[in-house]
């Protein structure tokens, strides 16, 4: 955690996010793909999911976590490219180095996304120059465009970067948080997924300003403490600091479906999106995992978790997904309808550990499962 003695009034954060990262890398490396609708991900014949879609593909309806089979049916103009995570990690390292040129306080969120504490840039001109310099540096080093949002806390900075996409800079002055966020839709707040958005919309809450003024007791009754936290964010309050430490116990993500489902293809597609998200964060922190865990909640709210451990660590998304898929399939065959799916990794190993003689190459090993 950051140890500097800086008051809350002085704090300022950037949220940097590469534009359609995986797809942009493929277009960068293959000029023939530039300007064309590109989706990156697994084969539609093997229940692959879209890991990234270029802006050209998004205009045709493609999006991340969509079943590849569905994406390819949108248009015969869409071009599918297999993921190349070694290349993405290579560029991610260069991008994070660019972030650290303006501040040592960098918190990677995934291969293409990070928070940066720029509280040491006290003047507004210093903040705007730092954002412009970072944008030019990333483009010069990698050839890729980055969007930068800025704000007095993490939530404001991330919302600003979403609004500024693609290829923009949007810095929100301190004190203008509510003015900036108020008219925006609630789905721009991290954690407001389709289910939460549907519940809020049924209550007439569509904008961040409406969420800020919503009845606190009602929010708590529907969402518990998370509802109160969402309202705080809508009010421009977010006390989180930059986490530079890599000593994390686990990384996880979960999704609650709009309605209970027992459709195997839909469930596997959701799992694929969760795995992609979690493994992206794992790679951003230069960590390898030896344990994966799935979590699922049945229609009657019964909740179960299952996990497996590998003999050797890995951060290869294809390996992790196949093992997660195998484990998940075994557990849901007789489970019936599900309302929630979660996926997580733990039991981490660092690159330094891998350089020791204790471990072999983590990518090329055929993993053995200890169920």
Written in H, E and C, the secondary structure of the chain is CCCCCCCHHHCCEEEEEECCHHHHHHHHHCHHHCCCCEEEECCHHHCCEEEEECHHHHCCCCCCCCEHHHHHHHCCCCEEECCCHHHHHHHHHHHHHHHHCCCCCEEEEECCEEEEECCCCCCHHHHHHHHHHHHHHHHHHHCCCEEEEEECCHHHHHHHHHHHCCCCEEECCCCCHHHHHCCCEHHHCCCCCHHHHHHHHHCCCCEHHHHHCCCHHHHHHHHCHHHHHHHHHHCCCCCCCCCCCCCCCEEEEEEEEEEEECCHHHHHHHHHHHHHHHHHHHHHCCEEEEEEEEEEEECCCCEEEEEEEEEEEECCHHHHHHHHHHHHHHHHCCCCCEEEEEEEEEEEEEHHHHCCCCCCCCCCCCCCEEC
Tokens at 129, concatenated = 């120059």
* Residue 90 among the catalytic residues: no
Residue whose entry in the numeric block shows the structure tokens 């599918």: 80
**Options 56, 107, 113, 316, the catalytic residue:** 113
Tokens at 34, concatenated = 């530039």
Largest interatomic CA distance in the chain: 61
Question: Which residues are annotated as catalytic?
Answer: 113
């Amino acid at each position: 955690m950051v140890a500097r003695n800086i008051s809350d009034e002085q704090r300022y954060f950037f949220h940097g996010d590469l534009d359609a990262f995986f797809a942009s890398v493929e277009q960068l490396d293959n000029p023939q793909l530039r300007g064309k609708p590109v989706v990156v991900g697994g084969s539609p014949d093997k229940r692959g999911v879209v890991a990234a879609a270029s802006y050209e593909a998004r205009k045709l309806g493609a999006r991340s976590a969509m079943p590849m089979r569905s994406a390819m049916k949108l248009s015969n103009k869409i071009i599918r490219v297999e993921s190349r995570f070694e290349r993405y990690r290579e560029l991610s390292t260069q991008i994070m180095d660019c972030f650290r040129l303006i501040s040592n306080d960098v918190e990677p969120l995934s291969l293409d996304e990070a928070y940066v504490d720029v509280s040491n840039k006290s003047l507004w001109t210093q903040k705007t120059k730092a954002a412009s310099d970072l944008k030019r540096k990333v483009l010069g080093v990698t050839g890729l465009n980055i969007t930068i949002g800025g704000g007095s806390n993490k939530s404001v900075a991330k919302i600003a970067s979403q609004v500024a996409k693609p290829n923009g800079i949007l810095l929100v002055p301190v004190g203008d948080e509510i003015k900036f966020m108020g008219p925006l839709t609630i789905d721009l707040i991290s954690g407001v997924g389709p289910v939460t958005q549907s519940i809020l919309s049924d209550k007439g809450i569509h904008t961040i300003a409406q969420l800020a003024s919503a009845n606190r007791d009602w929010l708590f009754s529907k969402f518990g403490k998370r509802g109160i936290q969402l309202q705080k964010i809508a009010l421009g309050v977010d006390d989180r600091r930059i986490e530079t430490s890599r000593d994390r116990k686990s990384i996880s993500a979960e999704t609650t479906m709009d309605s209970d489902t027992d459709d195997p293809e839909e469930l596997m597609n959701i799992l694929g999106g969760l795995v992609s998200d979690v493994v992206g964060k794992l790679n951003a922190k230069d960590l390898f995992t030896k344990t994966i865990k799935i979590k699922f909640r049945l229609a009657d709210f019964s909740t179960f978790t299952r996990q497996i451990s590998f003999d050797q660590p890995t951060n290869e998304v294809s390996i992790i997904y196949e093992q997660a898929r195998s484990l998940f399939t075994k557990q849901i065959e007789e489970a019936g309808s599900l309302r929630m799916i979660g996926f997580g990794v733990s039991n981490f190993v660092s690159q330094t550990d891998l350089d020791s003689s204790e471990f072999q190459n983590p990518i090329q090993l055929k993993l053995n499962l200890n169920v």
